[in-house]
Structures are given as structure tokens and as C-alpha cells.
Amino acid sequence: GQNIDQPTEMTATEGAIVQINCTYQTSGFNGLFWYQQHAGEAPTFLSYNVLDGLEEKGRFSSFLSRSKGYSYLLLKELQMKDSASYLCAVRDSNYQLIWGAGTKLIIKP
């Protein structure tokens, strides 16, 4: 079966750094996506990795290791507005997105 695992909830402090991990087992791999979703809103795209390594985009970075079936999203200089759910999704051999349940990130002052 296909499976995406990520922690249910994490808490971090404003101004700090947090790493959200994602492990996956899918039928084929054609890229991994991270999306941000605020409560009651639609997901918005954050990052895309298809090759091993780190992709940096401002305060957000995403890392991929295909051999380990592992990715993480790194958020630096946390702001209160970063409080949201972070969804990991893998595009499988049929180019369909398989979604994790999301990690709810709580930022405390």
C-alpha cells in the first residue's frame, strides 16, 4: 500500500527553527511536495523536490532523500502567521498526489 507519515502536531517558539519530517512508501516516485494549509483554507504550494538534496526558498527549505524515502521541511525565523498545517504529498508512478494527514504547527510567542 501507499503511505505517507508525518507527525500530527508540533509546537515551536516565535523566532526559532522547526523541522517537520515526512517519510513515504509509494508505488513509484515522481516528486515530493510540501503545502501549507491554514485552518478553513485551501492548501498553498510551498516547495517541490524531485532530486536528492536541499531546496531553499527564503525562510523555508525542503530536503529529500529518495533512498531513505524521507523528506523534511525546515522553517526558520518562525512567525505567528506560520501557525498552520503542513502537508507532505508524493507524486506516484501514475502522477497522482498521495497526501499525508498533515502536521499541525503551533507557534507560541
Partner 1 sequence: DTGVSQNPRHKITKRGQNVTFRCDPISEHNRLYWYRQTLGQGPEFLTYFQNEAQLEKSRLLSDRFSAERPKGSFSTLEIQRTEQGDSAMYLCASSSFRDSDYEQYFGPGTRLTVT
| Binding stretches for partner 1 (CB under 8 A) | 4, 8, 30-31, 33, 41-45, 48, 50, 87, 89, 91, 94-102
Find the angle CA(74)-CA(59)-CA(4) to the nearest 5 degrees.
30
Query: Least distance from C-beta 52 to partner 1, angstroms?
Result: 16
Q: Please identify, using beta-carbon distances, which residue of 18 and 98 lies nearer to partner 1.
A: 98
Query: Least distance from C-beta 15 to partner 1, angstroms?
Result: 28
Tally of CB atoms within 10 A around 45: 10
Query: Least distance from C-beta 35 to partner 1, angstroms?
Result: 8
Tell me the residue type at 100.
G
Q: Please identify, using beta-carbon distances, which residue of 95 and 109 lies nearer to partner 1.
A: 95
Q: Please identify, using beta-carbon distances, which residue of 12 and 89 lies nearer to partner 1.
A: 89
